[in-house]
Amino acid sequence: MNEILLSQEVIVYLFSETLLYGLLFVAFLVTVGLIKQWNFDTFTSKQFTLENRSYLVTIILFFVFILKIILLPYFIYTIDNLSNIVPGAMCGAGVIQANVYGYPLLALKIIILFLATLWLTINRLDVKAKNYPYFKIKSWFFIVIFLFLSVEYLLDIRYFTQIDTRNPVTCCSIIFGQTGGSNGLPFHLDIPKLLILFYLFFLLQILTILTKRVLLSLVSSIGFAVVAYYAVVYFFGTYIYQLPTHQCPFCMLQDHYYYVGYLIWGLLLLGLFVTINHAMMQIFFKQNSTKYEKTALIRLSLFVLLCSLYVVVYYLKNGVFL
Amino acid sequence: MSIIVIENVSKVYHEGTSHAFEALKSINLKIEKSQTVILSGVSGSGKSTLLSLIAALDKPSTGKIIVAGEAISKLPDLHASKYRAKTIGVIFQHFNLLESLSVEENVMAPLIHSRLSMTDIKEKVQHSMKLASIEHKATQEVKALSGGEKQRCAIARALVHDPEIMLCDEPTANLDKTNTLKFIEILRTLHSMGKTIIVATHDPLFESLDFVTHVIHMEDGKCDE
Amino acid sequence: MQNSTFLYFLTRLLFKQKSKHIGAVLISILIIFLLSAVLFISTSLQSTLMQTLKNQADFTVTRLKAGYPTQTPLEWIDKISELNGVSAVAPRVYGQYFFTPREKSFLIIGVDFFEEQNAQILKEIIGNLELKPFLSEDSMLVGEGVKIFLNAHYFKKYFTFKTPQGKFKKVHIHKMLAQESNLIANDMILMPLKLAQEILGMEEEEITDIAFNVPNDAEWDNIISKLHLMFYDVRVVEKREVQKAYENLYNYKGGLFLVLYLITIVTFMLILYQRYTMVYSTERKEIGILRAIGWSINDVLKLKFYENIVIVVVSFVLGVVLAYGYVFILDAPLLSQIFLGAANLENSVVFIPSIPFGLLGSIFLFYAVPFLAAVLIPAWKIAVTSPKEAML
């Protein structure tokens, strides 16, 4: 455990997370005070102080959000580096599997980023209006996000302190691959069916965004997210690594693949965030925005394009598919 | 249609404590567009408080203030500052300029967060400095200016975004006779441009000016209208 | 458009108020400089060592006696060569020679100059050596530290070794090894294998250890078990374990350093917080004025945010650039001794620039996050200043 905790990246990462959590705790305390005493209709100087304090919560959450966006790839980079010390690990996939906390932690981080985007959007709406109509909603929402953040912080610590450097972990070829003869895909899908689903869902996404069918676009986003994950790991990834048996979501984040993994996962996540965010805003707050629609479309299209490009280029270079 | 409507406005400082102080008591006032109004009274009579409420720099304890059709008494900060940046130009007694910057940079300051381009801003700044007769000192640092020049810089800054309403709080208290007269001439120009002007002052010179619409006497937080 | 006017205004403001921030900037540069220099040195050393290690043989086999390494019999080489999958089996002779009066020691390495060296690093160090003049008489190649040391003791052209058997052996100093190899070769002496055996008091059939490669890494575990079956008293060292050990060591050392440095950073944070909370009345007045003329709290926060980002970025860049120059151009006088100090002989190392991008990211995060976190609340406090109160 010591070697993990004394690794430079882990120290920087945990130190940053601790500082951010400290700030968030301050924001939490302020929010609790705000919920108790907020009354927009009074003219007291107390109320004006409360309005000023709400700015503190906003600025803290904004700062933390920006840093969490930076810390997510840094977290991946940290685990990737740890693969040098953890026996058996050749990339981040092995390290994140080192204990039960790894995957939940990663998933939680992504969820938190999404919730934070949602909060910031609601906050913008609230401040734009002249009487803070969503104040209570957004404050309670922040409390919920804070709970998630607390769990994340605990998981951070548990995860890094529980990585065993004596027992070897399994490498991605066994986790994801078919070396054991197992098929990693769900619902007994095979690659061709998966690809059809992938492109179909993508088309569905475009249609639902363009025709402004909000609820449908929300559902298709989730579907697309799941299908895209499997498609990238089990199909497109193999073209990035140019090896049909190398199926891994993490290796493409390394430098010998030109860090393309960050681009691929980044575009997918961003596109999905914007779509779901936009859908939520429409459903709950009746806010429409063509800008969001455009951004979502561009990002998702770029994602699909990039993935498909690897296949096409490979075929053009070698004349066959893998 | 009155451009400024003040209904039953009171302002109490430190309310709920032992040293609560009622600066304004039930003020009712209407000011029409393009009028030049003088608020006269000794210091402590509530003139500055009233001006700061109209400028949305502070909020009243009770009552309503409507400026150009918009209720400004309860505006949250984002909207209050937009209102100030669009509708109000303020000139203070102590000038309140950014000493370390130049005249030009001070005059530019209100426009920084507007969505204008640099060229548009520079044009407005030039125009404003000319109106205030301070364009010859554009690049000079404010701390090297004389009192009269500082006041003219403040005027230029207050005019740069072409506000409808000009609020002046004891504008000539720190000026000598010559500069006071120069200031009055600029006020006259502003009046001829159709701006609504409110001047809070205890200088009796203002009450007898020809372009002044009417004078409101304030005493002890109450006004005589 | 909107942003360029804002940036212009920000630049003018920062420029005019530079005395306000100069303290924070200078301390920041110092902190980043120290941190970067240490990490650069450590990373550079680590990468050089790893490079060296890469070129080493996959396996080293030594004989043990009562658990301690001892001379290895030459005949083991044939037995090992017979194993499947093994290649480039070579004997190695090396040991420490104590220059007793001063208790300094040299590392003597015996090299068979005709055989294929499985240690590439020796190839690099030996380089273009003209074998004939070298082998015509007893000669050796010495590292820089050795040369300087011998010169100081008036051994300019040769040195007389005393063998454990009591004989004297005069050896001619042929050439000095390249300075770039100082990290490993500083106190090294390379000489023909037989000469080394003589000086270290070994018999002809005795060598220090045996090195060999196993190209197929799937075979490694296999080979290890076979070796243990072949010889009861053997110690097998695998390169990958050495690599992991070095990795761990550097991790450990680097991490330890960072933990200690944390104290510096936290102190810095407290100072910053104090400094920026102690809002001088001039700054309060300025913010009050800006708010009075139409700036919202958000606008002021934006100004403060960018102000601090500029300070962070400028300090970071200057600190890193200074550290780079100090370590890779000036070869880190003073600091390098902390790393290489307690060395046998005085070592002057040339650092090879090798900065992984992630390292810069780590340094930036380690500095920027605490800095911005410390000034966040003071910045907010000043942004919500009531314009009226500020201007009084």
Asked if C172 and C203 touch (Cβ cutoff 8 Å), the reply is no
Q: What is the pLDDT of residues B173-188, one digit of tens each?
A: 888 889 899 889 999 9
Nearest CA among C90, C104, C306, C319 for reference residue C212 = C90
Nearest CA among C104, C140, C105, C106 for reference residue C125 = C140
Kindly tell me if the per-residue pLDDT of A204 is higher than 60: yes
CA distances from A85 to A132, C16, C139 (A): 52, 50, 43
| pLDDT (average), residues C386-390 | 77
| pLDDT (average), residues C319-336 | 87
- Residue A296 — very low, low, confident or very high, per pLDDT cuts 50/70/90? confident
Looking from the CA of C329 toward its CB, the CA atoms found within 13 Å total 6
Asked if A200 and A181 touch (Cβ cutoff 8 Å), the reply is no
Length of chain B: 225
From chain A, pick out residues whose CB is under 8 angstroms from the CB of C380.
Answer: 55-56, 59
Distance from CA of C382 to the nearest CA of B (A): 15
Q: Which residues of B touch chain C, with CB atoms under 8 Å apart?
A: 52, 55, 57-58, 77-78, 80-82, 84-86, 88, 90, 92, 94, 96-98, 100-101, 105, 108-118, 121, 157-158, 161
pLDDT of residue C343: 55
**What distance in Å separates the CA atoms of residue C111 and residue C125, rounded to the nearest whole number?**
12
> What are C94's strand-pairing partners?
C109
Domains of chain C, by residue range, sit at: 3-51+250-390, 59-213
Q: What percent of chain B has pLDDT over 90?
A: 40
Kindly tell me if the per-residue pLDDT of A179 is higher than 70: no
Sign of CA dihedral A144, A148, A149, A150: positive
Asked if B200 and B168 touch (Cβ cutoff 8 Å), the reply is yes
Query: Is A52's CB within 8 Å of C369's CB?
Result: no
pLDDT of residue A180: 42
Q: What is the pLDDT of residues C101-155, one digit of tens each?
A: 667 788 888 877 766 654 555 666 666 677 777 777 888 888 888 888 888 888 8
Q: What percent of chain A has pLDDT over 70?
A: 93
Q: What is the pLDDT of residues B49-66, one digit of tens each?
A: 899 899 988 888 888 999
**To the nearest whole number, what is the mean pLDDT of chain C?**
82
**pTM of the complete model:** 0.83
Q: What is the pLDDT of residues C9-28, one digit of tens each?
A: 888 888 877 777 888 889 89
3-state secondary structure of B166: strand
Under 8 Å CB-to-CB from B208, ≥6 apart: which residues? Answer: none
Q: Which residues of C touch chain A, with CB atoms under 8 Å apart?
A: 39, 244, 247-248, 251-252, 254-256, 258-259, 262, 265, 297-298, 301, 358-359, 361-362, 365-366, 369-370, 372-373, 376-377, 379-380, 383-384
Kindly tell me if the per-residue pLDDT of C320 is higher than 90: yes
The tokens of A24 are what?
Answer: 């968030």
Phi, psi of B76 (to 5 degrees): -70, 165
Q: What is the pLDDT of residues B11-27, one digit of tens each?
A: 888 777 888 888 888 88
Size of interface A-B (CB pairs under 8 A): 24
C325 secondary structure, DSSP code: I
CA distances from B20 to A49, A123, B11, B13 (A): 18, 35, 10, 6
Query: Is B121's CB within 8 Å of C291's CB?
Result: no
Query: Is C39's CB within 8 Å of A8's CB?
Result: yes
Chain A neighbours (≥3 Cβ pairs under 8 A) are B, C
**What distance in Å separates the CA atoms of residue A224 and residue A228, rounded to the nearest whole number?**
6
Neighbours of B34 (CB within 10 A): 15
Q: Among C56-60, C76-80, C132-136, whose mean pLDDT is lowest?
A: C132-136
Query: Is C2's CB within 8 Å of B85's CB?
Result: no
**To the nearest whole number, what is the mean pLDDT of chain B?**
89
Closest-approach residue (CA) in chain B for C292 = B57
DSSP per-residue letters across B73-138: TT--HHHHHHHHHHHEEEE-TT----TTSBHHHHHHGGGTTSS--HHHHHHHHHHHHHHTT-GGGT
C2, C3, C4, C5: best mutation site toward chain B, by most B Cβ within 10 Å?
C5
Interface of A with C in 13-72 (CB under 8 A): 13, 15-16, 19-20, 22-23, 26, 52, 55-56, 59-60, 63, 67, 70-71
Under 8 Å CB-to-CB from C390, ≥6 apart: which residues? Answer: C284, C285, C287, C288, C289, C291
If one compares C252 and C232, the residue with the highest pLDDT of the two is C232
From chain C, pick out residues whose CB is under 8 angstroms from the CB of B108.
Answer: 5, 9
The tokens of A82 are what?
Answer: 């740890």
**What distance in Å separates the CA atoms of residue C162 and residue C158, rounded to the nearest whole number?**
13
CA distances from B84 to B46, B78, B89, B196, C90 (A): 21, 10, 7, 15, 86
Under 8 Å CB-to-CB from C213, ≥6 apart: which residues? Answer: C57, C58, C59, C86, C87, C88, C118
Of C2, C296, C388, the CB nearest to B81: C296
**What distance in Å separates the CA atoms of residue C343 and residue C329, rounded to the nearest whole number?**
22
**What distance in Å separates the CA atoms of residue B211 and residue B187, rounded to the nearest whole number?**
9
- Residue B208 — very low, low, confident or very high, per pLDDT cuts 50/70/90? confident
The owner of tokens 């130049």 is B102
